[in-house]
Amino acid sequence: QKEVEQNSGPLSVPEGAIASLNCTYSDRGSQSFFWYRQYSGKSPELIMSIYSNGDKEDGRFTAQLNKASQYVSLLIRDSQPSDSATYLCAVNMSPGGFKTIFGAGTRLFVKA
Amino acid sequence: DTGVSQDPRHKITKRGQNVTFRCDPISEHNRLYWYRQTLGQGPEFLTYFQNEAQLEKSRLLSDRFSAERPKGSFSTLEIQRTEQGDSAMYLCASSENLRGGDRYGYTFGSGTRLTVV
């Protein structure tokens, strides 16, 4: 079992729709969770972090965490073509919590 | 502060040669990380430093890889006797040492793309 699993996609949504990206992780002791966006040929950039169960909203982005189910998701509302990228789910591994393990990423295409 | 800087941006080398990459983190960040990324995969953890101390190194890393962070500032990653399988993007990232600092995520550099021919 991989430590962080994501559907590779591609996920295709029309402009203005909600894109839903999902991630599961194996380390039940993990405390911090992140979503990074990576455009083709570029390095990852942090867009959201979450560490408490429930939802965390930042603009058009909402991260959701369910530690009991070991599940993290990212919702992108009013998707724009500029949101087309690979979205990486990342989890800080216990103990210590300073090493981040990344999933393979989900490719998102937003069609104009 | 211009963020995390990596040098060079691209490196083409012949199999068997040694290569060295440099990373300059954000100045107030005392944690520095090296990752490797191949096409279609997420970044793979290699090693990390807190100040000048190398606290963890991936079991996947062979003895041909070594990293240093003298004086807790910039870091270098050296690959000896390169192999074609070493071709990848090598990413450096840094983060702050805050209380609960593991919650703040990383700032990545632009990466060094290595091609071994």
- Stretch A87-107: mean pLDDT: 87
Q: What pLDDT was estimated at residue B92?
A: 98
CA dihedral sign of residues B105, A58, A20, A71: positive
Stretches in chain B below the pLDDT threshold 50: none
Give dist(CA A33, CA A67) in Å, integer: 10
Token pair 């990852």 is at which residue? A44
Residue A95 has pLDDT above 80, yes or no: no
- Contact predicate B67/B54, CB 8 Å: yes
Q: What pLDDT, on the 0 to 100 scale, is given for residue B101?
A: 54
Q: Using the beta-carbon criterion (under 8 Å), do B91 and A44 form an inter-chain contact?
A: yes
Peptide bond into A14 cis (omega under 30): no
Q: What pLDDT, on the 0 to 100 scale, is given for residue A21?
A: 97
The residue ranking higher by pLDDT, A8 or B6, is B6
Residues A67 and A1: beta-carbon distance below 8 Å: no
Per-residue pLDDT tens digits for A29-77: 888 899 999 999 999 999 999 989 999 999 999 999 999 999 999 999 9
- The candidate with the shortest Cα–Cα distance to B40, out of A16, A95, A22, A102, is A102
Interface touch B104/A49, C-beta < 8 Å: yes
Cβ atoms within 10 Å of B95's Cβ, excluding its own: 24
Residue A98 confidence (pLDDT): 74
CA–CA min distance B15, chain A (Å): 24
Q: What is the DSSP string of A30-69?
A: ---EEEEEE-TTS--EEEEEE-SSEEEEETTEEEEEETTT
Interface size A-B, in CB pairs within 8 Å, comes to 57
- Reduced to 3 states (helix: H, G, I; strand: E, B; else coil), residue B22 is strand
pLDDT (0 to 100) of residue A49: 92
DSSP string, B26-73: -TT--EEEEEEE-TTS--EEEEEEETTEEEEE-TT--TTEEEE-GGGS
Helix (H, G, I), strand (E, B) or coil at A81: helix
| Mean pLDDT for the stretch of residues A19-26 | 96
Identify the pLDDT of residue A110. Answer: 98
Stretch A88-107: mean pLDDT: 86
Instruction: Please report the pLDDT score of residue B113 as a whole number.
Output: 97
Q: What is the pLDDT of residue A97?
A: 62
Q: Is the pLDDT of residue A107 over 90?
A: yes
**Cα–Cα distance measured from residue A31 to residue A22, given in angstroms and rounded to the nearest whole number:** 17
Interface with A, mutate which of B102, B112, B113 (most A CBs under 10 A): B102
DSSP summary character for residue A18: P
Shortest CA gap A103–chain B (Å): 5
**Alpha carbons B108 and B82: distance in angstroms, whole number:** 24
Position A64 scores a pLDDT of: 97
Q: What is the model's pLDDT at position B98?
A: 63
Q: Nearest CA of chain A to the CA of B55: how many Å?
A: 10
